Amino acid sequence: MSVWPAWEVREDERATTWFTVRLGFGDGARIDVLAVVGGGAVSLEEVRAQPPLSLDDLAELADWIEEPLFRACAPEPEPAAGHLASVGSRRARPIWPRGIEGQRRIAQEYRSAQRQGTDPVLAVMCATGHSRRKTLRLISQARDSGFLTPRHARRRAAS
């Protein structure tokens, strides 16, 4: 799999970047994706696959390209003593506290992004350096601990 920037448009302090993602498979199958990152969101503008993807494969496409796309669009962290920890040979990730303090900080990042009108999950992903799946799990733990409101209000049965 390869990911590379196609072009970028800047307006004031905001930037929107298009990335080309290519997945090649051993049997000769290929998927080309044009992904747009900007405004706190990621969207897919174009997907071309040879042979065509099934609906199940198309649904899994986001999982396939998520980590490489995140690595390509995440800014390179500035090394500072005590602030970064190496995760194998993949990349440096900010040190994030575990337990209650970590959940409290996740809730702060989440609410801050909501107030700014950006994607709260992407904001937590960028803050923690984790994948979307791991980030959703962390947000769920913060909800369960009471740092965030429940996702869906429970309805009481009429008596």
In contact, 117 and 123? CB cutoff 8 Å: no
Residues 6 or more apart whose Cβ sits within 8 Å of residue 39? 14, 16, 118
pLDDT tens series, the chain, 159 aa? 788 777 878 777 777 888 888 888 788 888 898 888 777 677 888 899 998 888 888 878 877 787 777 777 665 444 444 333 533 334 445 677 888 888 999 999 999 988 988 888 888 887 887 778 888 899 999 999 999 988 766 666 665
Domain range annotation of the chain = 2-73, 84-144
CA–CA distance, 139 with 153 (Å, rounded to integer): 17
For the whole model, what pTM was predicted?
0.45
